[in-house]
Structure 1
Amino acid sequence: MESRDLRVSDAEREHVGTLLQRAVGQGMLSLGEFTERMDTALAARTRGELNAVLVDLPGMQVRPEYLPHPMQPTPAPAPPMAGPVPPAPASHLQTPTIRGRLSNLSRKGRWEVPPVLRLDTLMSSVTLDFTEAVMRTQVVRIQVEDYLSSITLVVPAEATADINGLDTVAASAESKVRNGPPFGPLHLIVGGTVRLGSVNVKHPLGTTLRKLLG
């Protein structure tokens, strides 16, 4: 088996996600490119597929044996960096997770929102209010693994949201927020699986009325 065909772990996928977020912060990737590459990284099964999202970024040169089978031109040379993408130190591998079992969970006010957040809930009531939250990035990905819970996501008036990546099993998912490319203070990308529960993305109470009244 060739090196590019070796399977990758969740730790390696998350590390590549961190590198892509850094590239957005440095202006090397647009938000649209970040979203596309992040989706590719999360779906990658082999090192060739995973490292393909990094090959054209400065300082991210990867050994040829760890790249996909050559079907496209080799990227321009970058400053030497030997070896495949190494996994991050253990302290940085875990995605921030909100867990709840038969609980009432809420995040409100000026709470700090990471670029990627995981919800692991069972028979709980969850409210995440982003209207006054402190965001590290404009695009926030929420990965949901839920059974029998009610999840409410409250976003600012000009925020956008995409819940197309959310799988429902005898559950409901509804968004009253504009979908499409991000242009406001926040763009939520919600994925994962909800079983026998519900997800509701909405604006704060009174937002529509305030718009009508100018």
Structure 2
Amino acid sequence: MAQPPQEPQWPTYRPDAGLPVPDAGSVPAPPRPGYSPQDPLVLAAGGKTLRKDGVWTVPPYIRIHGDIGSVRLDFRRATPASPVIQLDISGGVGTIVMVLPAGWAAQAERLRPGIGTRRIKVFEEPEPGHPVLVLSGSLGVGTMIIRYPNRGDERRLRRLLRREQRRSGDTPQLR
């Protein structure tokens, strides 16, 4: 009669085994996306809304997929990692909105319009010391708006700052 196959003995982790654990500082972290043209930061909405606002670092290479959702990028509290930020746009049928702080600029000569609408209400040349967004790719059927902040954006930012203050425990002094 044939014996059933034995279950293989898989190695298991035992904390008391005395095996050396690599130091966290000695293991190099993988490179973050967005710092090489071959590995851009990909922001894809799918069928939903993707928002990037607040404090964040803007890498030099970003790919935006609007798909059928919407992408909203607020650069007002962002720190650019480069004076030139390459944005590769794939609009789809969604909406892409970018809010730039004063001094920033956007150049869209390399962006193919497709059937969609594009409204760029910012300067093409940045003020000294400020970055420029260089747009390429295709807009598709969707809508893309690049503008400076309006009253609604300022109200949204005040609300976000109040929320952050409450979370950190800082209460503003009321007079």
TM-score band w.r.t. shorter chain: 0.5 to 0.7
Q: Name 1:122's counterpart in structure 2.
A: 67
Partner of 2:39: 94
Task: Report percent identity of matched pairs.
Answer: 24
Structure with the higher fraction of residues in helix conformation: 1
* Paired position in structure 1 for 2:77: 132
Superposition deviation, residue 186 in structure 1? 2.2
Within a 5 Å distance, the mapping from 1:31-180 to structure 2 comes to 93-180=38-125
Specify the code of the residue in structure 1 equivalent to 2:145. Answer: N
Whole-angstrom distance in 2 between the partners of 1:133 and 1:181: 16
TM-score, with length taken from structure 2: 0.62
Q: Which runs of 4+ in 1 moved over 6 A?
A: none
* Partner Cα separation in structure 2 for residue 177 and residue 114 of structure 1: 20
1:149 Cα offset (Å) = 0.8
1:191 maps to 136
Please report how far the alpha carbon of residue 146 of structure 1 lies from its aligned counterpart in structure 2 after TM superposition.
Answer: 2.1
**Structure 1 residue 196: deviation in Å?**
0.8
Unmatched runs of 5 consecutive residues or more in structure 1: 1-16, 19-41, 43-92, 207-214
Question: Amino acid of the residue matched to residue 56 of structure 2?
Answer: W
In structure 2, C-alpha distance between the alignment counterparts of 1:147 and 1:172, rounded to whole Å: 12
The structure whose Rg is larger is 2
Residues 1:147 and 1:97: Cα distance change in structure 2 (over 3 Å) = same
CA distance in 2, matches of 1:182, 1:138: 11
- Cα deviation for residue 184 of structure 1 reads 4.4
Q: CA deviation at 1:181?
A: 5.5
RMSD between superposed Cα atoms in Å: 1.9
CA deviation after TM superposition for structure 1 residue 102, in Å: 0.6
1:118 alignment partner, SS class: strand
Aligned length: 117
CA-to-aligned-CA distance 1:15-67 (integer Å, 9 cap, x gap): xx95xxxxxxxxxxxxxxxxxxxxxxx9xxxxxxxxxxxxxxxxxxxxxxxxx
Give TM-score scaled by structure 1 length: 0.51
Structure 1 residues 182 and 165, CA gap change in structure 2 (3 angstroms)? farther
SS at match of 1:153: strand
Structure 2, unmatched stretches of 5+, are 1-34, 152-175
